[in-house]
Amino acid sequence: MYSQDYDGRCVYGFPADNTTCAGITGRTGWRGWVSNGFYSYVKNAQIFECASNPGTRFNYFTWGNWCPNATVSVASYCYNYRGLSNRSDSEFQQPAEFLVLWDSDNKWNDRVPTSGYGIQDRDITEFRNSNWAYTHPHNEQNDWVYLDGHVKSGKLPQMRWEQIEFISSSSPNYGRSVMNPWQ
């Protein structure tokens, strides 16, 4: 629905914009999280919290009470800003392969893979440490939401770079697991 209303574009976010959101009722404590882009399309903010792992995820209010009027205070999913933010639907050759969201305490995949942030230093580190409360909370599996809308269960070693990064098939990272460092 969001894409239809915004000329076929994916949700645009501002993950670096952590300024206060006073007066933005119904928004998350982090203004850049994806729920802020499509909050008006949902009837219940609880969809942003995993029902099988409630209350154990990152709580926005523990970070200095950034947004006291937020109704989305707990989120259980990582949004793929790097690969999706403000891109047109027509740019994706294989929407059934491109990842939008996955179970994670990391709220966004927002940095280049070599920057020391993003999936390498967040999700992958926690996966290697077997921190199943941070990632892979479903019998050590993650639920993945794809751009075409289908959902599938998997593990990070199965995730390939071209599923989260907008790269060409000639890239040295194409076809490689995200568990392998970016080249």
- The tens place of each residue's pLDDT in the chain, 183 residues long, gives 878 888 888 876 554 444 444 434 444 444 446 666 666 777 776 777 787 766 544 444 433 444 544 545 567 888 888 888 778 989 998 999 999 989 887 777 777 777 666 687 788 888 999 988 888 989 999 999 999 999 999 999 999 999 999 889 999 999 999 999 888
Residues found in the chain: 183
Domain of 149 in residue numbering reads as 2-163
The domain total for the chain is 1
171 part of a folded domain = no
Residue 107 lies in a domain: yes
Task: Please give the single-letter amino acid code of residue 170.
Answer: S
110 forms bridges with which residues in the sheet?
none
For residue 168, being part of any structural domain is answered with: no
Amino acid at 180: N
- Look at residue 77 and tell me if it is in a domain: yes
| Number of Cα atoms under 13 Å in the Cβ half of residue 34 | 26
- The answer to whether the CB of 57 falls within 8 A of the CB of 78 is no
In this structure, is residue 72 part of a structural domain?
Answer: yes
- Per the domain annotation, does 170 fall within a domain? no
- How far apart, in Å, are the Cα atoms of 154 and each of 111, 133, 137, 143? 22, 16, 11, 7
Query: Residue 178 falls within a domain, yes or no?
Result: no
Burial degree of 115 (CB within 10 A; 0-12, 13-18, 19+): exposed
Q: Where are the alpha helices (DSSP H) in 23-153?
A: 35-38, 81-84, 118-119, 125-128
- What is the model's pTM? 0.79
Q: What SS3 state is found at 146?
A: strand
Q: Is 175 inside any structural domain?
A: no
